[in-house]
Structure 1
Amino acid sequence: MISRIDLRGRTLTAAELRRAIPRADLDVEAATGVVEPILAAVRDTGSVALRDLAERFDGVRPVHLRVPASALAAALEALDPELRAALELATARVRRGHEAQLPQPTTTQLAPGAVVRQRWVPVRRVGLYVPGGLALYPSSVVMNVVAAQVAGVEGLAVASPPQKDNDGLPDPTVLAACALLGVTEVYAVGGAQAIGMFAYGAVEHDAVAGDESTVGTVLCEPVDVITGPGNVYVAAAKRAVRGAVGIDAEAGPTEIAILADASADAAHVAADLVSQAEHDPNAASVLVTNSTRLADAVEERLDQRVAATKHTARVCAALGGPQSAIVLVDDVEHGLAVVDAYAAEHLEIQTADAAAVAERVRSAGAIFVGAYSPVSLGDYVAGSNHVLPTGGCAHYSSGLGVMSFTKSVQVIEYTRDALAEVTGPLVALANVEDLPAHGEAAQARFL
């Protein structure tokens, strides 16, 4: 079911190691060619394109692209009490975890009268994407919205695909989560078209529910930052609009890597590999271990679990794909090199001295330490964020958090004496760069 890659006894360069580890056969560049006409259509024709694309990709033509307030209220009213309690717990923990991330302003006095301050300012408006394909994600509402709220963002808009069995509105639990968090601007728009709507804004060209007054009105204002996970087309769309707006990362199909030694419990490892594989046939489940005995035991447990799980076909496709494997290494040190090269979205450490091993990891979206910290904990109630970089992006980017929605502004304030003290060096640097007017701008203060 799951392949093996044997790296034992091999000395590989960093580039060779990256090529040796399993990866999904997905091409964001190729997907870009697919999404570019979608983005152009949304930019040029607004609601017309959004409804046409919903009919094409989601099998339903929404009457209301913006979800009515009454539908949000009804979804919350109908929410199962146990599920509401779970969402409230997740919200409270995620909010507390993100409040600890808030950056503090700083003031640096470099000399008498020479002050540089750094302020942190939330962006004005954000677009938060919540997937709705094979699985539905009210938890992603919590992760996106709470981080933006804690950052102090004033304008929050959520988009999630329309559902055929909900009259062209997003999933009811997604709507309920939005209402629970006080989000009133929600759109029944999915995929690359949602990214285009957020990036460029959209105008309503149709009479909504027979109301002609809606024609020509603004459906959605453009945003400053777009965040949230999605498939390869969502990732490609985010790459295409980067520059027009900020994005969190090109979050694609989910992935888990588990670094484990002989001390790990094969049942735990197998359960966690299956838990990620059930997301999507393109999901990646990777075990890195120096124990062939553990590898054998995990394979045996996988056979049992996959046969018994709800989404057997989906899990089989994910575990049997090129993105999933058991990677055999010489020792934990070798395994650390492999998982750092992989830069997993989710990395579990199930080794002896797991906490010490985890401290040495450089590249991962989130690290789950020990036998009682499964990735599913982070998906829901750990207090961390589950919107994380995939496909190796953890080499250079971070998971979603307060910093995704804030920007720093430097404030420089010098007195006359403080400027006079550094005008000579300023002029010298300006002249060597052949920009004499720069120096003259400082000297003009003393003429």
Structure 2
Amino acid sequence: MIQIKQVTPGLSIKRSVDAGTEEQQRIVRDIIQDVRENGDRALLAYTEKFDGAKLYSLKVTQDEINDAYAELDDEIIKIIREAAENIAAFHAKQKRETWLYTNEDGSILGQKMTPLDSVGVYVPGGTAAYPSSVLMNVMPAKTAGVERIVMVSPPSADGRLPAGVLVAADIAGVKDIFKVGGAQAVAALAYGTESIQAVDKITGPGNIFVALAKREVFGDVDIDMIAGPSEIAVLADDTASAKEVAADMLSQAEHDTRASAVLVTTSEALAKEVADQIEQQLAALPRQDIARPSIEEHGAIYLASTLKEAIETINAIAPEHLEIMTENALELTKDIKHAGAIFVGRYSSEPVGDYFAGPNHVLPTNGTARFSSPLNVDDFMKKSSIIMYSKKAFDKHGAKIAAFARLEGLEAHARAIEARNQ
């Protein structure tokens, strides 16, 4: 059963950070090296070894995409399309344009915004199907203006990708889809093979081997983050429904045995009711074999003496997902400093953000919301500074710049400035 605890000063939350074993790290390095040396041959061999699929071609064909549409109900296709539109509309508001300004002395300064040339999107596959992961990674890249988006996903033993994943990718406008997963897929995206052209950035979640591979190739390419298990924290008072709070906590607990579901409340009565509700709902949950270890090992209910103490506790946790189910919930958002996404009010259940509302569901985990943000359009763009100094500005400030250069012992820097005065 989930534990009820009193909030204490300096509260420390148990994190589930998996850096991998030395053996896993060695396996990943060996796979990456093999893919770099043997290209598609290595990818095909690993796909047969790890996924049980004997393939002769890695790229998804148009016939496979057509079959995926035929397999899905028309209403589901319509829902995926509407979700993609919502996600695109939200991210369109994030896009920043190149800007310039002119100083009084005639100098022009600014910032040039340029989309990345290419991005690789990793989508978990096999027995799982995550069309939402496709949309959340692809739509901000498309909004940014990335020209080439490559998607990789591990196939099932029959050599197919889930229909929902293929339909979501097609709706999102992905042209290059490959049936390969694991560390080998990350290596292919980072360094290229005969079939897969290397990209500039890799995004998307995966298992420990995918995470370790992303860490290994970082620097040769960019990555989004090293994602940890899913997290939810609920900030609630006695106006909240225990049944709804428990259901929302379990919505994350069913992801992973290492997922974290936490309630912080000022109401002892609510705390006890939520604990009871979690037990009742767990008994009828299809994935209780995953959710129960999550709740018992990484879940908790914290009782705070005041709302201020409860908010301080939330900020200490820095959760991936935060639900606020209190009176004046929207007003409390101003006091939240650390959270990946904030769900306000009774009808903003966390799955609303997972699938449909529009904001990105790729969020910082393991307390990294203290310093990082959800996946967004900026993640798929570069910023270049623009400097066009006028003669008037140069004449006014040149001597100062040369003096600064000499302070750092860089005489050639100073002379580069002074050469223009001769």
Q: Compute the displacement of 1:134 (Å).
A: 5.7
Q: Compute the displacement of 1:25 (Å).
A: 5.8
Which position in structure 1 is the counterpart of 2:261? 285
Which moved further from structure 2: 311-320 or 261-270?
Answer: 311-320
Q: Compute the displacement of 1:312 (Å).
A: 2.2
Q: Secondary structure at the match of 1:250?
A: coil
Which position in structure 2 is the counterpart of 1:230? 206
Residue of structure 1 aligned with 2:245, choices 269, 272, 279: 269
Distance 1:233 1:330 in 2: 43
Q: Compute the displacement of 1:38 (Å).
A: 2.6
Compared with structure 1, are the counterparts of its residues 81 and 191 closer, same or farther at alpha carbon in structure 2 (3 Å cutoff)?
same
Counterpart contact for 1:76–1:180, Cα < 8 Å: no
Distance 1:40 1:341 in 2: 40
Letter in 2 for 1:311: R
Which position in structure 1 is the counterpart of 2:131? 138
Does 2:85 correspond to 1:92? yes
Counterpart contact for 1:63–1:168, Cα < 8 Å: no
Residue of structure 2 aligned with 1:117, choices 110, 120, 127: 110
Q: Compute the displacement of 1:196 (Å).
A: 1.6
Distance 2:260 2:56 in 1: 37
Q: Secondary structure at the match of 1:399?
A: coil
Q: Secondary structure at the match of 2:364?
A: coil
Distance 1:34 1:21 in 2: 31
Structure 1 residue runs without a partner (length 5+): 203-217
Does 2:63 correspond to 1:70? yes
Structure 2 matches for 1:15-414, cutoff 5 A? 17=11, 20-24=12-16, 26-28=18-20, 32-132=25-125, 135-164=128-157, 167-202=158-193, 218-321=194-297, 323-414=298-389
Counterpart contact for 2:323–2:343, Cα < 8 Å: yes
Letter in 2 for 1:152: G
Does 2:416 correspond to 1:441? yes
Which position in structure 1 is the counterpart of 2:405? 430
Which position in structure 2 is the counterpart of 1:418? 393
Q: Compute the displacement of 1:270 (Å).
A: 0.6
Compared with structure 1, are the counterparts of its residues 350 and 233 closer, same or farther at alpha carbon in structure 2 (3 Å cutoff)?
farther
Q: Secondary structure at the match of 1:219?
A: coil
Distance 1:36 1:361 in 2: 40
Q: Compute the displacement of 1:34 (Å).
A: 4.6
Distance 1:419 1:370 in 2: 56
Q: State the Cα deviation string for residues 42-62 of structure 1 (Å, max 9, x = none).
A: 222222332333233323233
Which moved further from structure 2: 375-384 or 332-341?
Answer: 332-341
Q: Compute the displacement of 1:259 (Å).
A: 1.4
Q: Compute the displacement of 1:63 (Å).
A: 3.0
Q: Compute the displacement of 1:11 (Å).
A: 2.4
Compared with structure 1, are the counterparts of its residues 319 and 51 closer, same or farther at alpha carbon in structure 2 (3 Å cutoff)?
farther
Q: State the Cα deviation string for residues 350-393 of structure 1 (Å, max 9, x = none).
A: 12221122221111111111111011000111111111111122
Q: Secondary structure at the match of 1:394?
A: helix
Q: Secondary structure at the match of 1:220?
A: coil
Q: CA RMSD in A?
A: 1.8
Q: Compute the displacement of 1:116 (Å).
A: 0.8
Q: Compute the displacement of 1:28 (Å).
A: 4.7
Task: Count residues with an aligned counterpart.
Answer: 421
Letter in 2 for 1:201: G
Distance 2:92 2:13 in 1: 36
Distance 2:54 2:294 in 1: 31
Q: Secondary structure at the match of 2:160?
A: coil
Q: Secondary structure at the match of 2:262?
A: strand
Q: Secondary structure at the match of 1:193?
A: helix
Distance 2:50 2:303 in 1: 41
Q: State the Cα deviation string for residues 297-317 of structure 1 (Å, max 9, x = none).
A: 111111221122222212222
Letter in 1 for 2:87: V
Q: Secondary structure at the match of 2:406?
A: helix
Compared with structure 1, are the counterparts of its residues 335 and 128 closer, same or farther at alpha carbon in structure 2 (3 Å cutoff)?
same
Q: Compute the displacement of 1:428 (Å).
A: 0.8
Counterpart contact for 2:17–2:228, Cα < 8 Å: no
Q: Secondary structure at the match of 2:141?
A: helix
Letter in 1 for 2:18: L
Counterpart contact for 2:126–2:155, Cα < 8 Å: no
Distance 2:82 2:66 in 1: 20
Which moved further from structure 2: 274-283 or 373-382?
Answer: 274-283
Distance 1:261 1:193 in 2: 48
Q: Compute the displacement of 1:195 (Å).
A: 1.6
